[in-house]
Amino acid sequence: MPVRAALGASGLHVGLCDIGPEQLSDPFLQETVKRVPARQSLLAIPKAELGHAPPGSAPAGVILHVGRCGSTLISQLLKQHDGVVVYSEPAPFNEVLVPPHRAERGELVAALRSLGALFSRHAGKPYLLKLTSWNTLYCDLVAEAFPSTPWALSVRDPVEVCVSFLRHRPGWLRDEQLFASVIDPSRSSRGPEDHVARLYGALCNAAGRLDPARGKLVPYEALPDAVWNVLGPHFGLSIDDRLRVRMAAASKTYSKSPVGRATPFVPDEANKRAAASAELHQAIDTHARPALSRLAAKF
């Protein structure tokens, strides 16, 4: 299974780990890598061979999201389906997509396609990619790499998302300059509230440039039912009554619980809304909510 990747002048170097698809029960792929002892190896794909993927190696679906919006619940419930393998926030895609991009666009797309072929070979059957939230900023590259793959964007009210980001910043958000050229090209952010609101808007704007005919918008409020009513059919997965019951039962557990330490899910919408400052509301009304409205209008 691909667990690391580096795109350089000579091609794509991929770290592989001898972990089977049946072991991917953790909320995130890298948690499985840390939990399961496994032999590691290195694969080099020369630059001239990048993008040479066999037919049928593209993912059956790509799950994009704005962060803190139920995407991990989606991926964990879809793991209940025996006919598909779900890779949750795989580091190799992060490592190819992270800026600054020193490779040309065509090489980035080809590298993503080659990674898809490696994940396909590992899965041995249809597979889904649930990407990291900031990957949505570059979702046009992902869509170009897999032009026939359906996608979905998981969203949540921007107040709840932004409060969560301000409370517990993911590592990639701590460096405000990392994605500044996309989030805030004018360099006019006025504090953390403004920055996270601009981030939310940039994520929606990026997804808005994709072909809506290939996509689905999945509001947080529609979960978990949207997993079997919307996403299953969208990704070509058959979900019968027995599987639906199993998914519904699994949805009552906190989706980010470590393996073997399941805890009940506790709703937190009211708590997050109560914590939002006037400055955050103003920034969201300026940058985030209009972008979400424009995106929703396309569906």
Mean pLDDT along residues 38-54? 98
Whether residue 186 has pLDDT greater than 90: no
Contacts within 8 Å (CB) and 24+ apart, 168-173: 170/67, 170/133, 172/132, 172/134, 173/134, 173/199
pLDDT given at position 176: 84
Distance CA 107, CA 51 (A): 8
Reduced 3-state DSSP string for 175-204: CCCCCHHHHCCCCCCCCHHHHHHHHHHHHH
pLDDT tens by residue, 253-276: 999 999 999 999 999 999 999 999
pTM: 0.98
Candidate from 96-105, 182-191, 254-263, 283-292 with smallest mean pLDDT: 182-191
Share of the chain above pLDDT 70, in %: 100
pLDDT tens by residue, 106-123: 999 999 999 999 999 999
* E strand or H helix that includes residue 296: helix 289-296
Distance CA 151, CA 55 (A): 19
How many Cα atoms sit within 13 Å of 98 on the Cβ side? 17
Domains and CATH numbers, the chain: 55-296 (3.40.50.300)
Whether residue 189 has pLDDT greater than 90: no
Q: Which residues fall within 8 angstroms of residue 274, CB to CB, at 6 or more apart?
A: none
pLDDT given at position 144: 98
- Strand order in 215-219's β-sheet? 85-88, 127-130, 61-65, 151-155, 215-219
Mean pLDDT along residues 204-228? 98
pLDDT tens by residue, 2-24: 999 999 999 999 999 999 999 99
E strands in the chain: 2-8, 11-17, 40-46, 61-65, 85-88, 127-130, 151-155, 215-219
Mean pLDDT of the chain: 97
Mean pLDDT along residues 199-220? 98
Whether residue 187 has pLDDT greater than 90: no
Mean pLDDT along residues 160-181? 94
At 295, list the tokens.
Answer: 């995106």
pLDDT given at position 190: 87
